[in-house]
Structure 1
């Protein structure tokens, strides 16, 4: 008999799991300590997620969805004359001021995947989907179709590199000066209205 999963309960559980992972990391993730920290039995986790791999995939999908919702809520090109640079700066402000633990968690996950210590299809898919999503934002801001995916890949890589630099060095002033240059570069990609 198939498991009945309550989508709302699963979302609430994912929020709690993400908060736990943001504090404890994912490299040494084990279901028993996670369940105990959340005040549940391991059965609750395995009811909603068939195992650790499915749980990690669900966490990544949850984080990705959250990132996309936030990016979609940022000002569009017609709102207050907002350009791509404004989107880059607003996204950075949100990540650094409100979402830094999640940024740290995402980079840990990506690093483990790059090192071959976290397997499964979701991390590469998430990165590819993110590039596609950002390409859509770029197109909405006037970047030509034939350049949007390439520029989205470059923007994502530079932005992630700046995040890692800040997380590693703590040198916010230097990193944000570089971010301003990245935002200016993004503005230069748009076509004049």
Structure 2
């Protein structure tokens, strides 16, 4: 069994601790704990992640974490989602700098260097999360599905406002899958020149897609 398969230490079990009722004070405490665990993941990655390691990082006990979260898997999902929020925030900040909003191709081209050059810890954890989702789909598939739910709305917002919702979704799915493939290819092969060439082809395809306008209904 690989280290990735042992990240949360065995089959998930329902904790027998009372949950936080969602009071303002309890929610503030939950967010504080989540941020500390998220920061630990960004530095140390997912390998050997466990509830006890999370508790040490948060400066508390595993019982306290089980008061606010449903278990190690729930905590892991939420922490990874927070790291994706950081990636999305970085990308949106860059896209917002495009004068006049920019075209779809220009926005995608603007965020690409941010994805390629983002902090190593963030990129490593999100790559590991995708690997874990593929390794154990039944248990950790939500790590992958959650990524799509976070990224697709952002990519749809980049699309021309006159497009139909169906077309925005189709193109956003294409962009997401292609960028994922490029990032994975760079990680596995180290072929930066090949990835750059592929990305240039994606930008040209998006330019053509936008220039084509909205297809007429049959």
Common fold by TM > 0.5:
yes
Q: Is the 8 A contact 1:22 1:105 kept in 2?
A: yes
Shift of 1:185: 2.0
Shift of 1:68: 3.8
- Deviation track 1:144-164 (CA, whole Å, cap 9, x = no partner) reads 433221111111011011111
Would you say how many aligned residue pairs link Structure 1 and Structure 2?
192
Q: Who is 2:40 aligned against? A: 20
The structure number with the bigger radius of gyration is 2
Q: Who is 1:52 aligned against? A: 72
* Higher mean C-alpha deviation, range 150-159 or range 37-46: 37-46
Match of 1:97 among 91, 111, 117: 117
Q: Who is 1:176 aligned against? A: 196
Q: Which runs of 5+ in 1 are unaligned?
A: none
Q: Who is 1:63 aligned against? A: 83
Q: Is the 8 A contact 1:60 1:122 kept in 2?
A: no
Q: Report the Cα distance in structure 2 between the residues aligned to 1:118 and 1:56, rounded to whole angstroms.
A: 15
2:158 maps to 1:137: yes
Q: Report the Cα distance in structure 2 between the residues aligned to 1:161 and 1:56, rounded to whole angstroms.
A: 24
* Higher mean C-alpha deviation, range 98-107 or range 68-77: 68-77
Q: Is the 8 A contact 1:143 1:189 kept in 2?
A: no
* Higher mean C-alpha deviation, range 6-15 or range 48-57: 6-15
2:127 maps to 1:122: no
Q: Who is 1:148 aligned against? A: 168
Q: Report the Cα distance in structure 2 between the residues aligned to 1:72 and 1:32, rounded to whole angstroms.
A: 34
Shift of 1:117: 5.6
2:103 maps to 1:83: yes
Q: Which has the higher contact order (CA 8 A, sep 6+)?
A: 1
Runs of 4+, deviation exceeding 4 Å: none
Q: Is the 8 A contact 1:26 1:105 kept in 2?
A: yes
How large is the RMSD of aligned CA atoms in angstroms?
Answer: 3.1
